Amino acid sequence: MPHIYSASSIFNFPDFAFSAEIAPGLTEAEDLSIATGFSAVTNPHASAGSYLQATAAASRAGGVFSGPAGLYDLKLSYFDETDGVSYIEILVNGAVVAAFDWDSPSGTVIVTGAAAADYSVAGLVLAPGDVIELRGAQDGGEPLRTDALEITASATPAIGESFVIEAEDLQILSGFSIGNNGAASGGQTLQHLGGGTARASYTVQQEGAFDLTVGYFDETDGVSWLQVLVNGEIVADFDWDAASGASIASTASRATHLIEGLELEVGDVIELVGQGDGGEPLRVDYLEFTSAAPVSGTPPDLWYYRDGEIHVALNDGASNFTELATGIAAPTSYSQARHYAVDVDGDGDLDFLEVAFPDPASPLPDPTPDELIFNLSTRVYENDGAGGFSTASAVTEPFVIPIDSVYGENADELRYILNFGDAGDLDGDGDIDFTATSVAGQELILFLNDGDDSFTKTVVPFPPEFTWGELTEGGADVYLSDINADGILDLLFSIDWEFSNTLIMISDGAGGYDVTGLYGASDDGNGLQIPADLDNDGDLDVLFVAVSDGGGIYAYLSDGTGARQDPGGFYASLVNSELNGVGLLQVGDFDGTPGVEMVSASIDDPGAGLDPGLRVIDFVPVGDSVDMVELSLDPTITGQLTAQGDFDGDGDLDLILATQDTAPESGIYLLLNDGTGNFTLADEVVPTFTGLGPSSFPLVSAGEFGDLPIA
C-alpha cells in the first residue's frame, strides 16, 4: 500500500542544500551529501568498502532523487551492533516516512557481517527533485554506521489500493508550465496558457490492471479539451465543458475523469495531450492509479458442486475447459454452509471462504432460553494459482443470538438461526467479511473479519423504514453492491412475506447505514436482484424479480444516491401482466453498443406473450424510466443462464447455459457471442451432470482460478 507521510522529525537542523544524486538502484551512504555529524570510514564489511559513521551527537546526510515520478520501495542498509541503541529517521521533503531504533540483541559489538541489517519502507511516491534525508543519533558504542540506500520500483498494489502522481511531477514535453494553486492536491498544477498543443508524459513502473482518474479544474469560462494516450493510442478524449462550478481554479471547479480497466506494462508511456480555451488554461491536478481486477487476459474459469465436492474447470483461453476436483466438501444442505469464491490473499486468483455450522441444530430445551449459543466454523482454502487448494486457516467460534419470543421457536433449524448473505470487504480494511440474517434472533448481522480469519459479530439495527419490523419465516437475504459509487459496499436488505421489499442501505463507512430507497412489487418479496446501470446514466440501478402475486421483472432506477429516480411512477417492467417462473437472468453489455442488455433462456409464459427461447432485451431510456424491448428470440435454446464472461477471449461477453428439461441429467453449454448480442450454441464444456431431481440444474459460476497445470 502506498506509504503515508506522517510524523515530524525530533531533530532541529538548519536548512541545508543537498546536492548528491540519489538515482533508482543502490546509492552508497558515503556518496550522500553530509550536512553535519557524519564522516566516511573504510571497512571491509561495507557494501563498497566504506560507510557513514557518526562524529557528533546528531548526524545528517541526504541527496536529491533523480529518477522519474513513481511508486518506489526504499531499503536502508546499516550495521546494528549490540553495544548501543542508535536512532535514525528517513525523511522525504522534510516529512518522516520511517523512524526506528537499532536495538537488535543479536549480532556483534563491532562491525562484522553478523551485525549487517536493513530496514525497508514500501510504497513511497517519489518525484524528481524530492529530497531524501537521513537524520540520526548514535548511542553508546554504536556510532550509527550507515551503509547504503537502495530504491526500487514497488510491486503492483493490491486490488483496490491506489497511488497518486501529481501532474506537476510529469515530464513536460511541450506547452505546459507549472502553476501554484492552493486548491490543487499538491499545491501546484500543470497548466497550458496558450500557444499550440500541450503535452506531458508519465512512464509506467507497475504492471497490471488499473483504473486511472485524472483530476483537473473544469472552469466555466472556457471549453478546454484533453486526450489521454497509452503508447500513442487514445484511451480517453473529453471536453472540459462544465456549466456549474466557478470561473477560477478553486475547490468549486475541481473535477475528475475516470478511465477504467487500463492494462499497463512496465515502460508504457501515458501521455496527456490538450489545449486550453478562453479563460480556462487546461489545469491538470493529478493522476490517480487504482489497482483493479484484470479486465482482459485469461478468460474466466468455472466452479460448481459435483459428487459432494467443489470442482473447478480451468479455461485454456480458447473456451476449452479441464475439470479438477478440489477436495473441498460440498454443504450437506444449503443452510448448513456457504462457499464464497473470493480473493482472500490478494494474489489475483480466487480462493474459497467456507462458512459452516459444524454441528446440527438441536431441539430447544423447555422452557425456551433467552439466547442461543451456536458454533460457526470458517475455513479459507487458498488457491495455488493452478486450481489446487489447501487449508490456509480454520477457525471455530461460538456466537450468540437472542431467541425471539415469537420467531425463536424456529431456532431448532439452521436456516432460521442464520441465513448466509453476500461476502465482501464491508469495513475497508482489506479483509473479506460476510453477512447474514437471523429469523430466530430477529437480527441483521455483519461478521467482520478480525484480520486472522476469525470474525466479530456486529448487529445492524433494523431501520425505521422497515415498517413491518420483524423477519418472518419467509426469510430475508443480504446482497452487497456499491450503489452510490463511493468505494464502500452498501446493503440490499431483502425481506420476504409481509414487508415484501428490499431496502437500499447506504454505508457511511463507519458502521452506520442510511436507507435511501426501497423496491418491491409483489406479495411475497423479491428473488433475483442484479445491480446494473439500466438507463445508462452512469449510476447503478437494480433489476429485480418479484415473486408470487404481482410477480415479474422490474427495474428500480436510482438517482445515484440509492433513492428512486422517479418516486411517483410505476416500476418499469417486462410485461404488464403477472409473470412467475422467471429463472436466472444475465445483464451486461452483450452487443457492444452503449448501455446494457438482459438475456434470458428460462422465461416461458405464452399467456403473457413470452414463448420459450433465448431472448435478448434492451433497456431503452424514456424520460426518468426505461422500456424493456425485445431485440431477438431464438426458440431453439432454452435453459438457465448461470454465468457470463469472455470465455473465448475475443473481447465480448459469452454465456453459460445449463439445460433444465433433460432431468435427471443437465448439460452445461457455452453460448458464444459474435459481438453483437447474437449467440451460437457450442459444445458441452464439462461432463454432463447426472442424478438430478425434476427441473433441477447445477449452478455453474465463473471466476479466475489460475492457469492449467503443466504436465
Torsion (CA) 163, 168, 173, 177 in degrees, nearest 10: 160
Ordered by start, the domain boundaries in the chain are 21-153, 161-291, 331-460
Q: Would you give the DSSP letter of residue 608? A: G
| CATH 2.60.120.260 is held by the domain 161-291 | yes
CA distances from 315 to 263, 318, 387, 647, 657 (A): 20, 7, 11, 8, 16
Minimal CA–CA distance to 199: which of 257, 101, 282?
282
Instruction: Find how far residue 669's CA is from the centre of its chain.
Output: 30
Task: Check residue 430 and give its pLDDT.
Answer: 81
Q: Distance between CA atoms of 652 and 646, rounded to whole angstroms?
A: 6
SS3 track for 324-352: EEEEEECCCCCCCEEEEEECCCCCCCCEE
In this chain, the answer to whether the domains covering 21-153 and 161-291 adopt an identical fold is yes
Got the DSSP string for 110-139?
Answer: SSSGGGEEEEEEEEEEE-TT-EEEEEEE-B
- pLDDT tens string 659-708: 988 778 999 999 999 999 999 999 999 999 998 888 889 999 998 887 65
Q: Distance between CA atoms of 271 and 268, rounded to whole angstroms?
A: 10
> What residue ranges of the chain have pLDDT lower than 50?
1-2, 709-711
Q: Strands, E, within 649-697: which ranges?
A: 654-658, 668-673, 679-684
Q: What residues have CB less than 8 Å from 149, skipping those under 6 apart? A: 22, 26, 27, 29, 32, 74, 75, 76, 77, 132
Task: Check residue 4 and give its pLDDT.
Answer: 52
Amino acid identity, position 677: G
- Quick one: 94 exposed, middle or buried, by C-beta within 10 A (0-12, 13-18, 19+)? exposed
Task: Check residue 708 and give its pLDDT.
Answer: 52
Architecture field, domain 21-153: Sandwich (2.60)
* 331 touches 356 (CB < 8 A): yes
- Quick one: 474 exposed, middle or buried, by C-beta within 10 A (0-12, 13-18, 19+)? middle
Q: Distance between CA atoms of 711 and 708, rounded to whole angstroms?
A: 9
Residues 513-522, buried b or exposed e (16+ Cβ, 10 A)? Answer: bebbbbbbbb
Helix (H), strand (E) at residue 643: strand 640-645
Amino acid identity, position 112: T
Q: Distance between CA atoms of 587 and 619, rounded to whole angstroms?
A: 10
Checking phi first, is residue 578 left (phi over 0); if not, alpha (psi -120 to 50) or beta?
Answer: beta
